Amino acid sequence: MTDPYAFETLAIHAGQSADPSTGAVMPPVYLTSTYKQDAVGKTRGYEYSRTGNPTRHALENCLAALEDGKQGLAFASGMAAADAVLHLLSQGDHVLAAHDLYGGTYRIFRTVFERLGVSFTFADASDTARFLEQIGDNTRLVWLETPTNPLLDLCDLAAIAEGAHSHPSQPLVCVDNTFATPYLQQPLALGADISLHSTTKYLGGHSDVVGGALVMRDEDLAQRLAFVQNAVGAIPGPLDCFLVLRGIKTLPIRMDRHSANASRLAEHLAADDRVRRVRYPGLPSHSQHELAQRQMRLPGGMISFEVAAGEATARRLVESTQLFTLAESLGGVESLIELPAPMTHASVAGSPLEVDPSLVRLSVGLEAADDLIQDLDQALHNAHQS
Ligand SMILES: *Cc1c(COP(=O)(O)O)cnc(C)c1O
């Protein structure tokens, strides 16, 4: 089941059908490490669960349908998925990466793969022409994130993918699509080779599972990554796959509401003098608002802004909310607030990617928007008292 169905239908049905032996509507959680062979080498499609598991396959097939790709691969975490992509590289290879990235991605680049002889250049991907100029003879991979974490900058996926693929070095283009989700943005349709997810975030959607995924449109590339998945072995367990599959069923309606709530909060914050530079792709004041409208179905549920009075006030703000929980991560039904500089982005401290210590990041949940606005107002008031 693929082409004739809309995203909302695929989110519920793709990769899944009623269990033939019992009629169970949800794919069973196949808690098994191995599978009986009917004769030596005669399997029923599965031999060992690192290589393949039916619950994981249901998730992988669902993800492939949602991204309109050939194959999906599920991993134990978003970082395990990133690690698998980086395992395609060899000593001497070069990676061109956007300069505003998830902190853990920056960390694995600099502390693990640089040591193994892979070199990295970080450049502003929102300036397409200047970014593409950084592609060299040995550039094998272009790494993009849009919208970025935590600055909510965008890059033009279609233009960068086209530019990268027309360069003689033919780098692969990998897009971290975690913030947007396949519902809001389709990197493969825009020309990327790999769409990467931390399924921990919106795809799982309920802050109860850690996972990652890759989706590819080229079969040969998918095979190479499936080889890494099996050889390295950073696979998710079947229960984790089940939780992500369940989360995905409500992804479209959740993203609609995340976006509607975030739009209201962003407008409210933008009108508050105590807040500086509200970063939200849905605001007309966002420098890439037009690109957001072209590239994304909706602006999403993430907002960041600076507190005008500075770091200490920002700290008091994130410690004063009652409904927003002070926590890392994002994409769950509940609203979260954090300070990227000492929390999610501590690993980029002292680097060119360092973020302003007064920057606050919101993951806007599915609570009533009025309650969320009231909570931010009381926390802003409280933070400015001392
Ligand atoms: C969380 C996150 C990751 C890493 O995923 P984990 O599941 O935590 O390993 C990668 N990219 C982005 C944009 C993220 O938000």
For residue 131, is it within any domain?
Answer: yes
Residue 274, CA distances (Å) to 265, 268, 314, 335 in order: 14, 12, 10, 21
| Residue nearest to ligand 1 atom 4, measured at CA | 78
Contact status, residue 365 vs residue 335, Cβ threshold 8 Å: yes
Torsion angle, alpha carbons of 146, 147, 148, 154, to 10: 70
Beta carbons within 8 Å of 173's beta carbon, 6+ residues apart: 141, 142, 144, 160, 161, 164, 165, 191, 192, 193, 194
Last-in-domain residue among 202, 217, 248 = 248
From the list 83, 153, 176, 240, the catalytic residue is 176
Instruction: Write the CB contacts of 12 (distance below 8 Å, at least 6 apart in sequence).
Output: 249
Judgement on whether residues 263 and 295 belong to the same structural domain of the protein: yes
d(CA 300, CA 259): 5
- Specify the ligand 1 atom closest to the Cα of 329: 1
Residues 73 and 137 in one domain: yes
Residue 66 lies in a domain: yes
In this structure, the answer to whether residues 145 and 23 fall within a common structural domain is yes
**What is the C-alpha R_g of the chain?**
21
Answer whether 152 contacts ligand 1 (Cβ < 6 A): no
Model confidence pLDDT, tens digit, residues 301-327: 999 999 999 999 999 999 999 999 999
Beta bridge partners of residue 98, listed in sequence order: 123
150 and 34 within one domain: yes
CB 305 within 8 A of CB 152: no
Owner of token pair 């097939």:
61
Spacing, Cα 384 to ligand 1 middle (Å)? 32
Q: One of 30, 106, 201, 280 is an active-site residue; which one?
A: 201
User: Would you say the CB of residue 178 lies under 6 angstroms from ligand 1?
Assistant: yes
Task: Choose the final residue of a domain: 214, 232, 248.
Answer: 248
Q: Are residues 180 and 317 in the same domain?
A: no
**DSSP, res 110:** I
Which phi and psi (to 5°) does residue 57 adopt?
A: -65, -35
Query: In angstroms, what CA-CA distances link 142 with 134, 158, 174?
Result: 10, 13, 6
Q: Does 221 fall in a domain?
A: yes
DSSP-assigned beta bridge partners for residue 97: 122, 143
Number of structural domains (the chain) is 2
- The CATH number of residue 60's host domain is 3.40.640.10
pTM: 0.96
> Using CA positions, which residue lies closest to atom 6 of ligand 1?
78
Letter for the amino acid at 299? P
Measured in Å, residue 220 CA sits from the centre of ligand 1 at 26
The range of the structural domain enclosing residue 194 comes to 7-248
Do 51 and 110 reside in the same domain of the chain? yes
Q: Is the CB of 148 under 6 A from ligand 1?
A: no
The answer to whether position 100 is within a domain reads: yes
The residues near 316 (Cβ < 8 Å, ≥ 6 apart) are: 382, 383, 386
Structure confidence at residue 3 (pLDDT): 58
Ranges of residues in the chain with a pLDDT under 50 are 1-2
Predicted local distance difference test score (pLDDT) of residue 92: 98
Domain check: are 272 and 353 in the same one?
Answer: yes
Q: How is 327-350 classified by DSSP, letter by letter?
A: -S---SSS-EEE-TTTTTTGGGTT
Mark whether 113 and 204 lie in a shared domain. yes
Is residue 190 in a domain?
Answer: yes
Q: Which of 109, 198, 328 to mutate to test the pocket of ligand 1 (most atoms within 8 A of CB)?
A: 198
Judge if 216 and 349 occupy the same domain.
no
φ/ψ of 240, rounded to 5, equals -60, -40
Tell whether 2 is covered by a domain: no
pLDDT for the residue numbered 346: 84
Q: Are 251 and 184 in contact (CB under 8 A)?
A: no
CA distances (Å), origin 252, targets 195, 259, 266: 18, 11, 21
The amino acid occupying position 93 is: D
Classify the C-alpha dihedral 215-216-219-220 as positive or negative.
negative
- Tens of pLDDT, residue by residue over 71-129, are 999 999 999 999 999 999 999 999 999 988 888 999 999 999 999 999 999 999 999 99
Q: Confirm whether 176 is a catalytic residue.
A: yes
Distance CA 215, CA 67 (A): 7
Q: Domain ends where: 226, 248, 270? A: 248
Whether 1 is covered by a domain: the verdict is: no
Contacts of 49 (CB under 8 A, 6+ apart): 30, 32, 33, 34, 56, 235, 238
CA of 177 to the centre of ligand 1 (A): 10
Can you tell me the distance from the alpha carbon of 112 to that of 178, in angstroms, rounded to the nearest whole number?
A: 22
The answer on 303 and 191 residing in a single domain is no
On whether both 203 and 260 belong to a single domain, the answer is no
Q: CB–CB of 302/281 below 8 Å?
A: no
Q: Quick one: angle between helices 54-66 and 238-249, nearest 10?
A: 30
CATH code of the domain containing 320: 3.90.1150.10
- Tell me whether residue 106 is in a domain: yes
- In this structure, the answer to whether residues 233 and 273 fall within a common structural domain is no
CA-CA distance, 120 to 106, in Å (whole number)? 10
Can you spell out the DSSP letters for 39-100?
Answer: BTTB-SS-SBTTT--HHHHHHHHHHHHHTT-SEEEEESSHHHHHHHHHTT--TT-EEEEESS
Query: Within a 10 A sphere around the Cβ of 353, how many other Cβ atoms?
Result: 19
Residue 142 CB neighbours (<10 A): 27
